[in-house]
Amino acid sequence: MSGINYSEKIPNNVNLANDRTLQRALEHWQPHFLQWWHEMGPTDFESADVYLRTAISVDAQGWAHYGAVHMPDYRWGIFLADPVAERKIGFGDAMGQPVWQQVPGEYRSTLRRLIVTQGDTEPASVEQQRMLGHTCPSLYDLRNLFQVNVEEGRHLWAMVYLLHAYFGRDGREEAEELLARHSGDADKPRILSTFNEPMRDWLSFFCFTYFTDRDGKYQLKSFAESAFDPLSRTCRFMLTEEAHHMFVGETGISRIVKRTLEVMKELGTDDPAKIRAHGAIDLPTIQRYLNYWCSSSLDLFGSEISSNSAANFASGMKGRPDETQYQDHVLRSATFHMNLPEGKSEDVPMLNALNEVMRESYLKDCEIGLKRWNRLIERAGHALRLSLPSSRFRRSIGPWAGIPVTPEGRQITKEEYEKGLKSWIPTAEDQAFIHSLMHKVVEPGKMAAWIAPPERGINNLPVEYEYVHLH
Ligand SMILES: [Fe+2]
Ligand SMILES: [Fe+2]
């Protein structure tokens, strides 16, 4: 059982006290992290009491403690899921061999890059979301935003622990760089482009936590399979927290749809202009935001055909999400039928198509929310259905990059595409309208007019609970 030592400066279940050098290195990094949080984390809420959960163990039952804290005093810690006895590599050319407790020399730079790329997204999203508190639709939502933010901060700790513990001086330098790059910075941007896009409104935030945090889930799931056991254990525990982030996205969009349907019923119309005039968000606008954030997140899986994905799998560094659901774990003779632009297609080695395999299972997972939202719309008696864009739509990586394709996946001319785009992704007017709705609502239990209240509160507390006490 992994108890967590809370008397230490850095709560952890990795026996940090027994490794003085590592402990000192991390205690040296800690004030840099806090400084980063102060400068780049949520603005102006440092003195607020926020009802947050904090990880206190990796037990399936009761791994979190709930209580009011000032965010700068949050106990960011290092928690790895319990080791699996005699764990063996579950895929690739070394399948069946014992997992690695240290980084094999030949994979050192690749593993470091994979960990840095994952780690970079965590503080990036905190930076992207730092202004959102000022326009929260309720205290419940404000608390959820901050919960996501502190946990992304903890995910940064998780990756920094691996860098410090297993990658020596290079790892320590990378840990500093993770605090030096900033989302949207002209000179030192974050590594992945989705994490440099500004986030100025809550519809985008809910789309981001629905689609982009779900990409995070898939990355973590593939690392949970890794032969590098400390990475696997780290990611297994991170997935526990990640589920809440996607919950925030899914229920956020559900509540917006619900409110829109109420207004449609009240006004007896589906005219977007009238719905907007009533302060709610029309369904076609929601669809455009879904198209935007889904397509942006699809690029995060990388190119359809990738020699890196092949090498990472063959070596055991990165598996497929839920690797055990597959029959073939080596993939040396499997092929994948890949559809390409201009009606062409090609059989490519399965090992080189793993990004696409992951993207497909990700899209399937994305359908869950769509089904729920559409059920609400159907029950309200409307014909419109929300949908996911095709994985070929608006891509900037891979064979479909820059190819004019409709959200349904049909290749069209450049002119048709340019013309269609304004009905497929948010226009400047859409964005201005959404902005116009963003006003801070901080009376306990009150909701902004464009979103319905949640079905229940946090941790069995009522919706009206004062989840954030502002001073
Ligand atoms: Fe995360
Ligand atoms: Fe997340």
Helix, strand, coil abundance in the chain, percent, nearest 5? 55, 5, 40
Cα–Cα distances in angstroms (integers) from residue 77 to residues 7, 206, 280, in the given order: 12, 26, 40
Query: How many angstroms separate the alpha carbon of residue 240 from the centre of ligand 1?
Result: 10
Question: What's the 306 CA to ligand 1 centre distance in angstroms?
Answer: 25
pLDDT in tens, 86-136: 999 999 999 999 999 999 999 999 999 999 999 999 999 999 999 999 999
> What gap in Å lies between CA 16 and CA 160, rounded to an integer?
14
Q: Ligand 1 centroid vs 281 CA: distance in angstroms?
A: 28
pLDDT value for 7:
65
Looking at residue 170, its pLDDT comes to 97
User: Which pLDDT score is estimated for 1?
Assistant: 41
> pLDDT for 296-307, tens place per residue?
999 999 999 999
- Measured in Å, residue 98 CA sits from the centre of ligand 2 at 30
Quote the mean pLDDT of the chain: 96
Give the model's pLDDT for residue 127. Answer: 98
The full DSSP string for 136-148 is -S-HHHHHHHHHH
Question: Ligand 2 being an ion, which residues bring their Cβ within 5 A of it?
Answer: 213, 216, 242, 245
Ligand nearest to the CA of 213: 2
Distance 130 CA to ligand 2 centre (A): 15
Cβ(72)–Cβ(52) below 8 Å: no
Give 241 Cα–ligand 2 centroid separation in angstroms.
Answer: 8
* Ligand 2 center–CA 278 separation, angstroms: 33
Closest CA to 461 of 140, 98, 61: 140
Distance 262 CA to ligand 1 centre (A): 34
Nearest to 448 by CA among 436, 461, 460: 436
List residues, by chain if needed, whose CB lies under 5 Å from ion ligand 1: 122, 152, 155
**Ligand number with the minimum distance to the CA of 243:** 2
Expressed in angstroms and rounded, the spacing between residue 334 Cα and the centre of ligand 2 is: 33
Rounded to the nearest whole angstrom, what is the distance from the C-alpha of residue 148 to the centroid of ligand 2? 6
Per-residue pLDDT tens digits for 256-275:
999 999 999 999 999 999 99
Are 158 and 234 contacting, i.e. CB atoms less than 8 angstroms apart?
A: yes
Contact by Cβ (8 Å): 178, 119: yes
What's residue 8's pLDDT?
Answer: 79
